[in-house]
């Protein structure tokens, strides 16, 4: 029987039906899942009561997994393939380092020289209301630009920083983050290595274009982000416990909305599939 999927929105995304990741998955069935991943940009699998080991095992079928060396304080101490996206306090009672993770429009690991192919996020504990994640289809965003704008941005490189919406983060975390992750320049227009389609590669971690000042860059960056996040390009995911959402970082960007009571528990666990090399360390002129 062919894989059953249900569209999640006009712009992107599909729910995969009748797949239980706690049971063995044939190569043929995984091939169908991967084709749906390329076709839809986001896949949702609900009700997946799986272990951490099963989460990692399934994720590895998409490719080699990142061990999150660029974010060592956020990974699980026993499972470095798992990034904790959590507001639960640390063992010593200190606030979670990752409580603000994702609250800027971004694509995962864009600030590294090996941006992510895809991410698989599992909802372990979610608030009853809010804590949503929004996704943007960057193929559609690029396609909707005028010919003049496409020409203007064709050769630009955006400088991506590891910035986080991190009010209250420790100075030690900030220093470590800057040392581990120097600013990286990525092409503003990337060609998807599997589909061959062009997509915008922009987000709120881009502070300037290489070879341009911040003042020159910001108006165009702001426009491209506003353009990419128009309602017709978006899908908003409302989390349920045991959801797994898989997204293609090469043609989407996303944001965690933070739209929930912060006294409630929100704990997610993410695997990150490594992609192909991209970008270069930014020139000193803009790496500040």
Specify the residue for token string 């009571």.
261
pLDDT at 287: 41
Is 284 catalytic? The answer is no
Task: Average the pLDDT over each of 4-18, 43-57, 83-97 and give the range with the smallest value.
Answer: 83-97
Residue 288, pLDDT score: 43
Residues belonging to the chain: 288
Q: Is residue 288 part of a domain?
A: no
Structural domain for 258, as ranges: 4-281
Q: How confident is the model at residue 262 (pLDDT cuts 50, 70, 90)?
A: confident
Q: Which of 40, 66, 99, 108 is catalytic?
A: 108
Contact between 96 and 59 (Cβ < 8 Å): no
Percent of residues, the chain, with pLDDT higher than 90: 79
pLDDT of residue 174: 58
pLDDT of 53 reads 98
Q: Is 270 a catalytic residue?
A: yes
Residue of 68, 250, 254, 266 marked catalytic: 254
| Tens-digit pLDDT profile for residues 32-73 | 999 999 999 999 999 999 999 999 999 999 999 999 998 888
For residue 268, the model assigns a pLDDT of 95
Predicted local confidence at residue 169, as pLDDT: 56
Query: Quick one: pLDDT at residue 90?
Result: 77
Q: What is the dihedral of CA 209, 210, 216, 218, to 10 degrees?
A: 20
pLDDT of residue 150: 98
111-125 tens-digit pLDDT? 999 999 999 999 999
Quote the CA–CA distance of 167 and 147 in Å, as a whole number.
Answer: 40
pLDDT, tens digit, for every residue of 132-186? 999 999 999 999 999 999 999 999 999 998 865 554 556 665 555 566 668 999 9
Q: What is the mean pLDDT of the chain?
A: 91
Per the structure, the count of domains in the chain is 1
Answer whether residue 286 is part of any domain.
no
The pLDDT of residue 285: 44
Beta bridge partners of 136: 234, 253
| Residue corresponding to tokens 């059953």 | 4
Could you tell me where the beta strands, DSSP code E, fall in 192-242?
198-200, 206-209, 234-237
How far is residue 134's CA from residue 142's CA, in Å, rounded to a whole number? Answer: 18
Strands 42-45 and 14-17, sheet pairing: parallel
Structure tokens at 47: 């009700």
pLDDT at 162 (0 to 100): 80
pLDDT at 84 over 80: yes
Determine how β-strand 267-274 pairs with β-strand 116-125.
Answer: antiparallel
Q: pLDDT tier at 195 (50, 70, 90 boundaries)?
A: very high
Tell me, yes or no, whether 131 lies in a domain: yes
Out of 32-36, 144-148, 231-235, 262-266, least confident range? 262-266
Residue 57 counted as domain residue: yes
On the question of pLDDT at 26 being above 70, the answer is yes
CA proximity to 44, closest of 233, 274, 246 = 246
286 confidence band (pLDDT: 50, 70, 90): very low
Residues 6+ apart with CB under 8 A from 220: 152, 153, 209
Q: Which of 160, 164, 266, 270 is catalytic?
A: 270
Q: Is the pLDDT of residue 284 over 80?
A: no
Domain-located, residue 265: yes
* Rounded-to-5 percentages of helix, strand, coil across the chain: 20, 25, 50
- The model's pTM is 0.91
- CATH no. for residue 85? 3.60.130.10
Of 72-81, 89-98, 267-276, the poorest mean pLDDT is in 89-98
Q: Is 254 a catalytic residue?
A: yes
In a domain, 9, yes or no: yes
Q: Is residue 287 part of a domain?
A: no
Q: b/e for 249-279, b at 16 or more Cβ within 10 A?
A: bbbbbbbbebebeeeeebbbbbbbbbbeebb
75 is catalytic: no
Q: What is the pLDDT of residues 196-213, one digit of tens each?
A: 999 999 999 999 999 999
pLDDT over 90 (residue 16):
yes
Residue in 106, 122, 164, 250 annotated catalytic: 106
């Amino acid at each position: 029987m062919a894989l059953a999927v249900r569209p999640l929105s006009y712009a992107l995304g599909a729910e995969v039906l009748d797949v239980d990741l706690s049971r063995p998955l044939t190569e043929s069935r995984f091939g169908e899942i991967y084709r749906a991943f390329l076709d839809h940009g986001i896949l949702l699998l609900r009700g997946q009561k799986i272990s951490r080991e099963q989460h990692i095992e399934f994720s590895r079928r998409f490719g080699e997994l990142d061990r999150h060396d660029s974010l060592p304080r956020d990974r699980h101490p026993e499972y470095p393939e798992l990034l904790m996206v959590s507001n639960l306090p640390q063992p010593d009672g200190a606030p979670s380092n990752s409580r603000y993770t994702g609250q800027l429009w971004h694509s995962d690991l864009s600030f590294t020289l090996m941006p992510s192919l895809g991410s698989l996020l599992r909802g372990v504990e979610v608030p009853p209301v809010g804590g949503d994640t929004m996704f943007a289809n960057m193929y559609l965003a690029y396609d909707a630009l005028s010919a003049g704008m496409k020409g203007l941005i064709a050769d630009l490189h955006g400088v991506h920083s590891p910035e986080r919406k991190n009010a209250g983060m420790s100075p030690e975390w900030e220093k470590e983050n800057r040392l581990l992750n120097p600013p990286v320049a990525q092409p503003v227009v990337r060609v998807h290595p599997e589909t061959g389609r062009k997509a915008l590669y922009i987000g709120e971690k881009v502070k300037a274009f290489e070879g341009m000042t911040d003042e020159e860059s910001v108006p165009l960056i702001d426009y491209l982000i506003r353009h990419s996040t128009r309602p017709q390009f978006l899908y908003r995911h409302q989390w349920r416990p045991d959801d797994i959402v898989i997204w293609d970082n090469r043609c989407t960007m996303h944001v965690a909305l933070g739209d929930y009571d912060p006294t409630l528990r929100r704990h997610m666990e993410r695997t990150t599939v490594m992609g192909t090399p991209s970008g270069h360390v930014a020139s000193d002129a803009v790496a500040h």
